[in-house]
Structure 1
Amino acid sequence: MKTEEPTASLGQTLEWLRKELAEMQVQDQRLLLTLRHLHSVLEELRTESAHWEDSRSSGGTSPVRARAGSEARGHPPIPTKRLAQLLQGVESRRSSLP
């Protein structure tokens, strides 16, 4: 029987950890993009809702859509198709042990 050297096993384990950490960083970046997009959509909806409420209470006719979304803060919105791709990438995260 042949036994593995501890250093080879340790080296393989460290390499696996590096790979997993790199994958986690990519996942974190995707989650951050998704979070930023969702935050901008929520802000836009809140602004729009408040505007509608103000116009209803003041008896206005047709409210103009206010935009306080991602454009105002310098974050371009993520297209819906891209967001779906990002979410699929998040869900496809695998757990692989050495």
Structure 2
Amino acid sequence: MKTAEAPAPNLGQTLEWLRRELAEMQIQDQRLLLTLRHLHSILEELRAESARWEDTRSSGGTSPIRARADSEGRARQPMSSRWLAQPLSGVDNRRSSLP
């Protein structure tokens, strides 16, 4: 005895849906890779800055506060949390449904 179920989509439609999903996943992977690379470069900058601070601190020549004020005057401005989160704003966290 047959049940009254919706007919299964044909194989062609299912394969087409699967191709679209895989293409979207590749795009998401590329975006995530770019974000990861960006965050990695920020971490490297922060590690280098931390090492400079530790060197300044251990040298005892000037106070860490004075060294920081001098370095900020000559170098780039400190990063804001909004700038750090910027690459994540374009990431799409969608979940797809089955066909």
Instruction: Report the residue type matching 1:85 in the other structure.
Output: S
Count of residues paired in the alignment:
80
CA distance in 2, matches of 1:12, 1:56: 65
Q: How does 1:71-86 map to 2 (within 5 A)?
A: 80=84, 82-86=86-90
Contact 1:34-1:86 within 8 A present in 2 as well: no
| Structure 1 residue 80 displacement after superposition | 4.7
- CA deviation after TM superposition for structure 1 residue 94, in Å: 1.5
Task: From the superposition, tell whether residues 57 and 39 of structure 1 become closer, same or farther in structure 2 (CA, over 3 Å).
Answer: same
Q: Does 1:43 align with 2:44?
A: yes
2:61 alignment partner in structure 1: 60
Opposite residue 48 of structure 1, the aligned amino acid is E
**In structure 2, what is the Cα distance between the partners aligned to 1:49 and 1:35?**
21
- Partner residue in 1 for 2:96: 95
Give me the TM-score of the superposition, normalised by structure 2: 0.66
For residues 40-70 of structure 1, the C-alpha deviation after alignment (integer angstroms, 9 at most, x for no partner) is: 11111111001100100002332647x9xxx
Q: Identity of aligned pairs, percent?
A: 67
What TM-score comes out, normalization by structure 1 length?
0.67
| Unaligned 5+ runs, structure 2 | 1-6, 76-82
CA displacement at 1:84 relative to structure 2: 3.5
1:82 CA displacement? 4.1
RMSD of equivalent CA atoms: 2.8
Give, in whole Å, the separation in 2 of the partners of 1:80 and 1:42: 10
The amino acid that maps onto 2:13 is Q
By relative contact order (CA 8 Å, sep 6+), the higher-ranking structure is 2
Map 1:25-36 to 2 at 5 A: 25-36=26-37
Residue 50 of structure 1 aligns to which amino acid in structure 2? A
**Bigger-Rg structure (1/2):** 2
